[in-house]
Structure 1
Amino acid sequence: MTEKRKSFFERLMLMDDSTWQRHANPLSVYTRYSGLPLLALAIWSRIWVGWWALVPIAMVILWIWINPRLFANPQSTANWASKAVLGERVWLNRKTVAIPEGHRQAAFRLSVLNGIASLVVIYGLIVLAVWPTLAGIGTVILAKTWFLDRMVWLFEDMADDNSLYRSWVC
């Protein structure tokens, strides 16, 4: 994928082919789930440590950035987590290689659900309300997991007909 075609977030995360391959390691996928709960806790810590909360917030942001680079390339991509990451790459490349409409609609709906749940988390963190924060985090994680499951399906559908996508399989 050319630099010009990469999404803003992909460019921000500096995700090149090597980083994507390392991120396809299931350890990277599963440990990445810790990001939002840790970020919420770091933001919540402002009531205990004041401005020093910026330190754990920065540490969590660093964790989120370094996570896809931390693990070795997977020995095999024949697993749910690896295929989810490969599917995300297919999704990000959808402007270059069209994807089936059903996958596009499902991903859009799950992204909307994730966005609404993220707003609930933000609200909970602003007003320091435990239940909205926890409910929002739970819903974000559920929506993200469902989205990743759809990415597995997308990858499997697209790899059948696309040699580039097939080449990512090991």
Structure 2
Amino acid sequence: MDIIKWAEKLMAMDEESWQRHANPWSVYSRFTTLPLLSLAFYSREWIGIYALIPIVLALAWIWLNPRLFNAPSSTHSWASMGTFGERLYLNRKNVPIPAHHQRFCILLQTLSALGLPFFIYSLYSLNTELLIASNIWIMVFKAWFVDRMVWLYKEMKNSDSQNAADINHDQ
């Protein structure tokens, strides 16, 4: 199963949410989600069962973030193009993307996923150093993935693909 497609379904992203998420404030603040979630789970060491409050708040932030900001006035930023590229990537079964992007995206997703067992173990064991390292690992490959989505968007936005035309909202 494609974890990105699964996450999109879980997030219930509609057209308006995607447009709002293309706001650079949404994209850049999204990078706070893993550290906030880490801190929320880690807080069980300090506040016990009350850690459920920051956990719920962190999960609410993950859902709220793509909906919180207005659609950007311009979509020429790295963040906006990354968001549009991600939409192209998610629709690759309907409209194929170039093979060189497909292979590299799978590699980046795999490398990011390799950090998950360390992330989960560090939360379980309360290993601060491993938690920080796994956060950095996952976030570096996520940022690299977004950068690849920018490349994909730039390559496909002027193609004959209706998929690209549908999301090419240059304003």
Q: TM-score of the superposition, structure 1-length normalised? A: 0.93
1:25 is the counterpart of 2:23:
yes
**How far is the alpha carbon of 1:163 from its aligned partner?**
4.3
**How far is the alpha carbon of 1:168 from its aligned partner?**
2.6
Structure 1 runs (4+) deviating above 4 angstroms are: none
Q: Which string of whole-angstrom CA distances, capped at 9 and with x for unpartnered residues, describes residues 11-34 of structure 1? A: 221101111000000000000110
Q: Confirm or deny: 8 A CA contact 2:119 2:135 kept in the other structure.
A: yes
* 132, 136, 145: which one aligns with 1:138: 136
**Inter-partner Cα distance in structure 2 for 1:90 and 1:40:** 30
Matched with 1:93 is: 91
**Inter-partner Cα distance in structure 1 for 2:76 and 2:61:** 26
Q: Confirm or deny: 8 A CA contact 2:22 2:72 kept in the other structure.
A: yes
Q: Confirm or deny: 8 A CA contact 2:95 2:163 kept in the other structure.
A: no
Which amino acid in structure 1 is aligned with residue 169 of structure 2? W
Q: Which string of whole-angstrom CA distances, capped at 9 and with x for unpartnered residues, describes residues 41-99 of structure 1? A: 00000011111111100000000100000000000110100000001000000000000
**How far is the alpha carbon of 1:9 from its aligned partner?**
2.1
* 31, 38, 60: which one aligns with 2:58: 60
Identity %: 44
Matched with 1:79 is: 77
**Inter-partner Cα distance in structure 1 for 2:73 and 2:38:** 33
**How far is the alpha carbon of 1:7 from its aligned partner?**
3.1
Give 3-state SS (helix, strand or coil) of 1:30's partner: helix
**Inter-partner Cα distance in structure 1 for 2:163 and 2:142:** 25
Matched with 1:168 is: 169
Matched with 1:117 is: 115
Matched with 1:51 is: 49
Gaps of 5+ in 1: 1-5
Give 3-state SS (helix, strand or coil) of 1:123's partner: helix
**How far is the alpha carbon of 1:164 from its aligned partner?**
4.2
How many residue pairs are counted as aligned between the two chains?
Answer: 165
Give 3-state SS (helix, strand or coil) of 2:115's partner: helix
Aligned alpha-carbon RMSD (Å) = 1.3
**Inter-partner Cα distance in structure 2 for 1:14 and 1:169:** 24
**Inter-partner Cα distance in structure 2 for 1:132 and 1:142:** 15
**Inter-partner Cα distance in structure 2 for 1:146 and 1:9:** 18
Q: TM-score of the superposition, structure 2-length normalised? A: 0.93
